[in-house]
Amino acid sequence: MSTVATSQIKLTPEHARPRASVRSRLQEALPKIVLAPSFAITVVFVYGFILWTIYLSFTNSKTFPSYAITGGRAYQRLWNWTFDTDPPSSWYTSITNMGIFGFLYIAICLALGLFLAILLDQKIRGEGVLRPIYLYPMALSFIVTGVAWKWFLDPGLGLEQTLHQWGWTSFHFDWIKNKDFVIYTVVIAGVWQASGFIMAMFLAGLRGIDGEIMKAAQIDGATTFQLYRRIVIPLLRPIFLSAFIVLAHLAIKSYDLVVALTSGGPGGSAWLPSNFMYEYTFKRNEMAVGSASAVIMLMTIVAIIVPYLYSELREKSR
Amino acid sequence: MSAVTTPARQASGGVNVKIVNRIVIYGLLALFALFYLMPLFVMLVTSFKTMDEIQNGNMLSLPKAPTFEPWLKAWGETCVGLTCAGIKGYFWNSIKMVVPAVLISTMLGALNGYVLTKWRFRGATLVFGLMLFACFIPFQSVLLPMATILGSLGRFGVTLQNTVGTSFGLGNSTVNLVFVHVVYGIGFTTLFFRNYYEAFPTELVKAAQVDGASFFQIFRRIMLPNSMPIFVVTVIYQFTNIWNDFLFASAYAGTGDAMPMTVALNNVVNTSTGVVEYNVNMAAAMIAALPTLLVYVLAGRYFVRGLMAGAVKG
Amino acid sequence: MAFLEIDGLRKRFGQVEILKGIDLDLEKGGFLVLVGPSGCGKSTLLNTIAGLETITSGEIRVDGRAINDLHPSKRDIAMVFQSYALYPNMTVAGNISFGMEMRGVPADERQKAIDKVAKVLQIGHLLQRKPSQLSGGQRQRVAMGRALVRDPKLFLFDEPLSNLDAKLRVDMRIEIKRLHATTGTTIVYVTHDQIEAMTLATKIAVMRDGEVQQFGTPAEIYNNPANVFVADFMGSPAMNLIPATIGGNGGDLAVVLDREARQPITLPMANAPAGLSAFKGKPVIFGVRPEALTDPEGAERNASQIATADCHIEVVEPAGSDTFAVTNLGGKGVVARLRADANIQPGTNTPLAFNLTKAVFFDPATESRIR
């Protein structure tokens, strides 16, 4: 049995007692003392640094940080670049790529992950072999993934050449060298890496569904297709949400894959905002602009994550 | 259990439909297995081929005369930037960085999780929420200040070196990366342990208190011995993440001898001097992938659990 | 002076007051059961005695000494938890001796104490096993062993039987009672099961919403419930609480029970409690336990006041040792407890005997007893 109190055990006293010795008071504060360094580190190196970055984005920092506030010029420039489509500015390319990559990466991973999970959930012999095969790319670094796919998609070496050798000489696949299509190769490699994990999430969700609900639906005469469409998939809603959060956050953070797979693509045509930030900050000596782009990335994540975390933590503490 | 058994199909469809269904399902599953295996397969066979065979042969064919040469070359001779001593040094760099970073962040996570669940105080949820959010930030938003701080610490280290005779590791790239990975890893490790200890019976802690065990005695004698599964999960998760990291590595140890494996691999692959030795590149990529692949093969169950725990928050 | 004294104990968590001024006492060797529904604060109260939760105000004294500022391990208590709380990584022997180890008792003394307790509880053959290798009943014994080995002033039990299956629960209940009788220890015991409370306790505190509703011996609680809540909570099947009106002529009072589509039943009250006359013509709650509502032949011989009335029987439940009959009075289902062989059919009108000596009355407005 539990009361309101036992679910929020409070072992440290609410008020310091005069009789308590220094030693026992130290004992009481011990948990907080233990937690303090980690919390302090987080406050300084995460939140402090975020504020620092925001600050820098309002300065005129170039190669080195300068601490004189010069207003939102960096943002002004980013805003102007947003409409610089001919020729496309690096920023325009980055955010358009983000849109394309983010949408396709998330949508395909979700669809493929769910599809594979449903297939695997059909009492498959050899599930124990197939599951790890689908999932192992998640263990690889983006750099390795990039190297592998770079080779595989290279027109002179990989898939195209292989098909030519097999006699399909008209086959042409040079997206990785094409500035208009290079971002789609990032989608392919990204999906390859993450979809197996999304599959595992959905599979866990499917296995968690009460078998009696399924039996009831079958007795009600639902076909397998109806069963999934009307009962199972709606029940997987929380998994969709979790998977979406994971993917969105992976997508916005994606940096390594673009570097390793495309080296930024022809003329930076494969850049994502993360690459833009890195290049402007460390290579092009436009620190303020780089910081401003980092702030925009952060805000995007905040808009997605904070409501999610808030609702999760609230639920938990109830 | 949810496996949807196609209900013993009514007379309408019959056995044939069922068999066709099974064939389609297995066919699709096999096709996707090929999709996931292909790049690894290509990487692996290429790494055992001679350059000659690569240029004239088929990407998918098995090596006609398998050779270890590319692996040896990648390990000991290939050029990373201008130094041509193979990737072995960088492999050890990664090890030297990963081991302490994983151990420190895991221990801190365990302690934090213990405090946050078994010694709750007012505001504990807020503290946890703030630490949790840190897992999600795009690291670009802290990259520059951290570079500045590490730079200053490095200069301070030089001063110390000149005056006291030791820099205490300040300015050492490996130490820097360990620090960075601990700082940005404790959010995850705390999350893992908190969720695990949340389900850990509080009555055990109460019983130990009645038995007279202190804060640390409870942690060491009661919590830790019963935390093996989450330890494995956390260590694997952290190991994979830190080993695979590229952003911090390239920002804070992007050049010079302290580069971790991922940066070195990227440099090997993008070194454009002379003929590109694809077999060596692939061997290098395989070497970079092996530790995490090994962990995956040996402890896949825990690996998946870690990913799930990192995905389903709260 | 009592052995355990609790004075004006209050516990607030944030804005919520969980314990609202608890006063209890227990003689040495007594067995106090705290009983009440989920969330009534009984476990919190036990935890404050153990020192696992702090109190906002008030005092807890054991043997004349205030203990509320002491660490749990310094209070000379032992506790048996609902989940037994055996340390899964230690053997049974390790579990039993962990407390002694923490207090720095030398190994050979620990071994002696373990052996002694193992003998009392007959768990000698289990000492080297891990908790996961034990059955529920064995775990329960080990948990008690861990408490016994401390030889404390006060034993605390937090719903120790609720994780056991029904049969084992009865066995362990008897075991605990035997243990109490042989060792003469002082026990505070929390449960939500009123049968455990009745069978084990020398004193019962019935709690609700952080307040003690009634504190007394099991017989007092059962026969003289202080209010509707206690009457309803204690006893199984529960006391019938029937909406009624007080009628009667002049000084004679009678209980009037409405019935569906029939004349009300009027039961004359000879020895009504003094307070009842004030309710003449007003509604009351008429409380009668199922065993005080029987077939006329089964009525208690020496009861001084028995009134018989025809009742429409709706359901009959033969339970083996007894037969329960359900009728409807005052708009509520009312359970009568009949002999097992009573010849009674559902759908018939059968005379039932009301043992009015055992009847109690409550004020519907305050729900407290009319005395």
**What pLDDT does residue B184 have?**
92
**What pLDDT does residue C230 have?**
95
Which residue did the predictor score with more confidence, A267 or A47?
A47
> Residues A200-220: pLDDT tens digits?
989 988 888 888 888 888 788
Q: Record the pTM.
A: 0.84
B114/B225 same-domain check: yes
B neighbour chains, 3+ CB pairs within 8 Å: A, C
> Does residue A187 carry a pLDDT above 90?
yes
Average pLDDT, chain A: 83
Sign of CA dihedral B3, A113, B21, A217: positive
Q: Are A107 and A285 in contact (CB under 8 A)?
A: no
- pLDDT over 70 percentage in chain C: 100
For residue B231, tell me if it sits in a domain.
yes
Nearest to C52 among A1, A11, A17 (CB): A11
Q: Burial code of C219-258, b = ≥16 C-beta within 10 A, e = fewer?
A: eebbeebbbbbbbbbbbebebbbbebbbbbeeeebbbbbb
B193/B307 same-domain check: yes
Q: Does A103 touch chain B (CB under 8 A)?
A: no
B54/B112 same-domain check: no
Q: Which two tokens stand for residue A232?
A: 């199972």
Give chain C positions within 8 Å (CB) of B204. Answer: 85, 87
Q: Residue C298 is part of a domain; what is its CATH number?
A: 2.40.50.140
Other C-beta atoms closer than 10 Å to the C-beta of A241 total 14
Give chain C positions within 8 Å (CB) of B201. Answer: 83, 85
**Of A267, A247, A118, nearest in space to A187 by CA:** A247
C258/C187 same-domain check: no
Q: Which two tokens stand for residue C369?
A: 């007893």
**What pLDDT does residue A7 have?**
36
> What DSSP designation does C122 have?
T
Residue A19 to chain C, least CA–CA distance (Å): 9
For residue B8, tell me if it sits in a domain.
no
Contact B133 A305 (CB under 8 A): yes
Nearest to A121 among B4, B39, B183 (CB): B4
B67/B174 same-domain check: no
Give chain C positions within 8 Å (CB) of B223. Answer: none
**Of C96, C76, C108, nearest in space to C141 by CA:** C96
List the single residue in A with minimal CA-CA distance to C16.
Answer: A4
> Does residue A318 carry a pLDDT above 80?
no
In the listed set B76, B99, B122, which residue is the last one of a domain according to the structure? B76
**What pLDDT does residue A98 have?**
92
For residue B1, tell me if it sits in a domain.
no
List the single residue in B with minimal CA-CA distance to A144.
Answer: B285
Average pLDDT, chain B: 86
Q: Does B271 touch chain A (CB under 8 A)?
A: no
B187/B293 same-domain check: yes
**What pLDDT does residue C268 have?**
87
List the single residue in A with minimal CA-CA distance to C40.
Answer: A3
**What pLDDT does residue B164 have?**
82
C149/C14 same-domain check: yes
Nearest to C89 among B211, B212, B226 (CB): B226
Give chain A positions within 8 Å (CB) of C16. Answer: 4
B41/B169 same-domain check: no
Q: Total domain count for chain B? A: 2
Q: Which two tokens stand for residue B278?
A: 């694809």
Q: Are B308 and A198 in contact (CB under 8 A)?
A: no
The rounded Cα B204 to chain-centroid distance in angstroms is: 33
Q: What is the mean pLDDT of residues B173-182?
A: 92
> Does residue C129 carry a pLDDT above 90?
yes
Q: Does B212 touch chain A (CB under 8 A)?
A: no
**Of B234, B254, B252, nearest in space to B305 by CA:** B234
C179/C290 same-domain check: no
- pLDDT over 90 percentage in chain A: 24
**What pLDDT does residue C133 have?**
93
Contact C50 B210 (CB under 8 A): yes
> Does residue B12 carry a pLDDT above 70?
no
List the single residue in B with minimal CA-CA distance to A241.
Answer: B312
Q: Does C82 touch chain A (CB under 8 A)?
A: yes
For residue B110, tell me if it sits in a domain.
yes
β-bridge partners, C257: C265
B246/B114 same-domain check: yes
**Residue B310 pLDDT level (bands cut at 50, 70, 90):** low
C68/C122 same-domain check: yes
Q: Are B251 and B147 in contact (CB under 8 A)?
A: yes
Q: Exposed, middle or buried, C182 (CB in 10 Å: 0-12/13-18/19+)?
A: exposed
Give chain B positions within 8 Å (CB) of A9. Answer: 118, 120, 202
Q: Does C56 touch chain A (CB under 8 A)?
A: yes
> Residues B200-256: pLDDT tens digits?
999 999 999 999 899 999 999 999 999 998 999 899 889 998 999 999 998 888 777
Kindly report which listed range (B76-80, B205-209, C5-9, C61-65) carries the lowest average pLDDT score.
B76-80
In the listed set C178, C203, C233, which residue is the last one of a domain according to the structure? C233
Best mutation target, B36, B220, B287, to test chain A (most A CBs within 10 A): B36
Q: Does A26 touch chain C (CB under 8 A)?
A: no
> Does residue A164 carry a pLDDT above 70?
yes
Q: Does A315 touch chain C (CB under 8 A)?
A: no
> Does residue B272 carry a pLDDT above 70?
no
**Of C351, C343, C354, nearest in space to C304 by CA:** C354
Euclidean distance between CA atoms C156 and C190, whole angstroms? 8
**What pLDDT does residue B2 have?**
44
For residue C356, tell me if it sits in a domain.
yes
> Does residue C124 carry a pLDDT above 60?
yes
B61/B132 same-domain check: no
Domain containing C328 equals: 240-362
**Residue A253 pLDDT level (bands cut at 50, 70, 90):** confident
C273/C214 same-domain check: no
> Does residue B3 carry a pLDDT above 50?
no
In the listed set C233, C265, C281, which residue is the last one of a domain according to the structure? C233
C20/C164 same-domain check: yes
Give chain C positions within 8 Å (CB) of B217. Answer: 102
In the listed set B56, B76, B96, which residue is the last one of a domain according to the structure? B76
> Does residue B312 carry a pLDDT above 60?
no
B42/B156 same-domain check: no
**Residue C248 pLDDT level (bands cut at 50, 70, 90):** confident
Q: What is the mean pLDDT of residues C202-209?
A: 95
Nearest to A17 among C52, C69, C190 (CB): C69
**What pLDDT does residue A254 have?**
86
Euclidean distance between CA atoms B250 and B246, whole angstroms? 6
Domain ranges of chain A: 6-54, 90-317
B120/B261 same-domain check: yes
> Residues A109-126: pLDDT tens digits?
999 999 999 999 888 888
Q: In chain B, positions 183-222, which contact chain C (CB-CB < 8 Å)?
A: 201, 203-204, 206-213, 217, 221-222
B240/B266 same-domain check: yes
Range with top average pLDDT, A6-15, A66-75, C83-92: C83-92
For residue B6, tell me if it sits in a domain.
no
C203/C260 same-domain check: no
Q: Does A253 touch chain C (CB under 8 A)?
A: no
**What pLDDT does residue B94 have?**
93
- pLDDT over 70 percentage in chain A: 92
* Interface size between B and C, measured as CB pairs under 8 A: 61
Q: Does B163 touch chain A (CB under 8 A)?
A: no
How far apart, in Å, are the Cα atoms of C208 and each of B161, B276, C203, C228, C290? Answer: 70, 81, 17, 12, 24
**What pLDDT does residue A20 have?**
56
Euclidean distance between CA atoms B174 and B7, whole angstroms? 60
Q: In chain B, positions 58-77, which contact chain A (CB-CB < 8 Å)?
A: 58-60
- ipTM above threshold 0.90: no
- Regarding the domain with residue range A90-317, which homologous superfamily does it belong to in the CATH classification? MetI-like (1.10.3720.10)
Give chain C positions within 8 Å (CB) of A12. Answer: 54
Mark out the alpha helices in chain C (DSSP H runs). Answer: 42-50, 92-102, 107-121, 136-148, 166-183, 194-200, 218-223, 228-233
> Does residue B47 carry a pLDDT above 80?
yes
> Does residue A244 carry a pLDDT above 50?
yes
> Residues C275-302: pLDDT tens digits?
888 888 899 999 999 999 998 887 777 7
Average pLDDT, chain C: 90
Q: Which two tokens stand for residue A77?
A: 């420039």
**What pLDDT does residue A220 have?**
81
Who's near A13: CB < 8 A, 6+ residues apart?
A20, A28, C54
Q: Does A14 touch chain C (CB under 8 A)?
A: yes
For residue B235, tell me if it sits in a domain.
yes
Which residue did the predictor score with more confidence, B32 or A245?
B32
Nearest to A140 among B130, B137, B289 (CB): B289
Q: Does B178 touch chain A (CB under 8 A)?
A: no
Q: What is the mean pLDDT of residues A25-38?
A: 88
> Does residue C249 carry a pLDDT above 80?
no
In the listed set C177, C210, C233, which residue is the last one of a domain according to the structure? C233
**What pLDDT does residue C44 have?**
93
For residue C40, tell me if it sits in a domain.
yes
Residue C186 to chain A, least CA–CA distance (Å): 23
Q: Residue B305 is part of a domain; what is its CATH number?
A: 1.10.3720.10
> Does residue C166 carry a pLDDT above 50?
yes
Q: Total domain count for chain C? A: 2
A neighbour chains, 3+ CB pairs within 8 Å: B, C
Q: What is the mean pLDDT of residues A241-251?
A: 87
C112/C62 same-domain check: yes
> Does residue C14 carry a pLDDT above 60?
yes
B60/B92 same-domain check: no
> Does residue B271 carry a pLDDT above 70?
yes
> Residues B61-114: pLDDT tens digits?
888 888 888 898 889 888 877 777 888 889 999 999 999 999 999 999 999 999
Give chain B positions within 8 Å (CB) of A35. Answer: 111-112, 115-116, 127
C142/C118 same-domain check: yes
For residue B40, tell me if it sits in a domain.
yes
C156/C203 same-domain check: yes
Give chain C positions within 8 Å (CB) of B222. Answer: 87, 89
Domain containing B20 equals: 14-76
